[in-house]
Structure 1
Amino acid sequence: MKYLITGNAGFIGFHVAKTLIARGDSVVGIDNVNDYYETSLKEARLRELEKLAQQSCETGSQLEYEFIRANIADKAAVDDCFGRHQFDRVINLAAQAGVRYSIEHPEAYVESNLIGFANLLEACRSAKTPHLSYASTSSVYGGNTTMPFSEDDGVNHPLQFYAATKRANELMAHSYSHLFNLPTTGLRFFTVYGPWGRPDMALFKFTQLILQDKPIPVFNNGHHSRDFTYIDDIVEGVIKSSDQIATPDSKWSAAEPKPANSNAPFRIFNIGNGNPAQLSDYIDALEEALGKTAKREMLPMQPGDIPDTHADTSKLQQATGYKPDTSVREGVQKFVDWYRNYYSA
């Protein structure tokens, strides 16, 4: 099949594109390679994808790979991409990420997460794309303290603008599913980590600081928990849910509406490990992998942070057979191995 992967220079987009190329699918990637974090890492990911695609072609594969350096907020660029390609699947992983960054730079989230997503919805509608999948986030659960988080829970109290834009994506998608019969699947990611990860995420920053013998900032005194999910498990969920086209739920009731599905071809899934860990245990695993003790600077909780996350992934498991199987210690060790090799650390 032919996939459009937006944000393919990003952490998750890179891994999804790499997996699809490896299995023989054609991939068109689009990314503006912005400087939210070091562009050299993004460029290195793109080189890896080019190399993998070239190797596949040399072994006789008929797959195609193209990278488009553009912003999905640029409607002309998106329309040109859809005009030149007919996609079997579109997976939108391009977004302005970061919880704390959204407090100071909301305009970046409007551009990418709202305008950019609207451009993709309209392009998919016009092209009659068979299925659009898109990244949402566990942050939409906001002030909800009922654990584990279920897709049937209310998500009307976001704690930061990033989560608000992602919740808006889910509502925008439903309107297109309802009005234009466009199949859409929203994917709520839970704290993704692993090789080629984002430098603004805790694991990356902690590794840098520990190796430099500098203290690491441990917010909420390390007491909050996260449903840390290894990148390979995330990719499995993304591709399996994308391959299986969303359909209307025949049991959906307008009198008692469930928020995660609809009488339109629309659905929302959690993608998480389903086994949350305390931040302090996460740091313990990192110390073990590095063979080095961290200097922990205990700090209060940051504005916009959610105290705990825990994914109920039963809907995704029932629909696709998704089953995450990477423990935190195993995943952290794989990240450290990659980090040492990549940075010669």
Structure 2
Amino acid sequence: MELDFPMVQVLNEEGAIVQPEYREQITKELTMTMYRHLIRTRMVDRKCVSLQRQGRIGTYVPYEGQEACQVGSALALDDGDWMFPTYRDHGAMMTFGRSLTTTLLYWKGRTEGCVPPEGKKIVPPSVPIATQLPHAAGAACAEKWKGTKNAVIVYFGDGATSEGDFHEGLNFASVFHAPVVFFNQNNQYAISVPISRQMKTKTIAQKAVAYDIPGLRIDGNDVFAVYFKTIEALERARNGGGPTLIEAVTWRYGAHTTSDDPSRYRDQEESKKRRDTTDPIQRVERFMQREGWWDEEWVNQVQEEVNAEIEQAVVEMERYPKADVSDMFDFVFAQPTWTIAEQKEAYLQWKRGMER
């Protein structure tokens, strides 16, 4: 049984290509597109943390450090593909076409924040851990049985592999040869629990062996490795090859959420060291400098354009009224059940009592 899953890398930490077979595909245009998305994704994340600290949005889930995972994998998708994200994957959703205003509305608690852009199959982010994996397997089977070439990508963290839905999703997909890519972002902590205390296996990728599906382990801070390996897995899925499990090894610099203090459970010096050596954006910058593609004026222009986009989205987000808690009951079923109706009435009675 093959249990050796070496780390796949295309662009190393110094910004050098180490897989020459991909060199011709890494054009200046592709690199600049990726860099723009990476910068946009990080700037949005930092703005959202700031907005939460000011009380302008609710509890927020930051992802700084995981940009290459989300940008590279989302750029690999075709327009007709499905995306099943978690609460930490708004970088992937924005890269796949979700507007920044919609992203902010999600964190403001508005139902509009769950609506995908026209023509895109982006399922609302899953907050319960791993529940999206069986859903993704089901959507993939539906596409297969309809005879389309559409594939599915589903995101989850290392902590999700400890949930029963992880097994159910991979088992169902493997049995029915579903066209789905299980994309694991192993940021090495499930809230405060290090991966060494979550599982006995050395890698997450090797769990694919139990389902007789391909598994691979990639450098999640290498946007090119993420992009090309996700494309290959998606193409395999489209053409009848079934599911693939990808473990993208990465690191989140900050807290699990804005309600969390990571200094209580891990050494922040490690985050600082990783930021200096393995940061996904700095890696692309080093590559562009090596290639003679680095243009300070263009980079400044990108940052200015993204900043203007962010500020406009904040203005648009704040035009919406505060979310109505009764929306929680109205948007569960197309036709509310009697239990939902009772719960809503109980809430409204409580609210009337509080307002007296």
Instruction: Please indicate, yes or no, whether the TM-score normalized by the shorter chain is above 0.5.
Output: no
TM-score computed with the length of structure 2 as normaliser: 0.38
Q: Which protein, 1 or 2, shows the higher relative CO under an 8 Å CA cutoff with sep ≥ 6?
A: 2
Higher strand share: 1
TM-score computed with the length of structure 1 as normaliser: 0.39
Higher helix share: 2
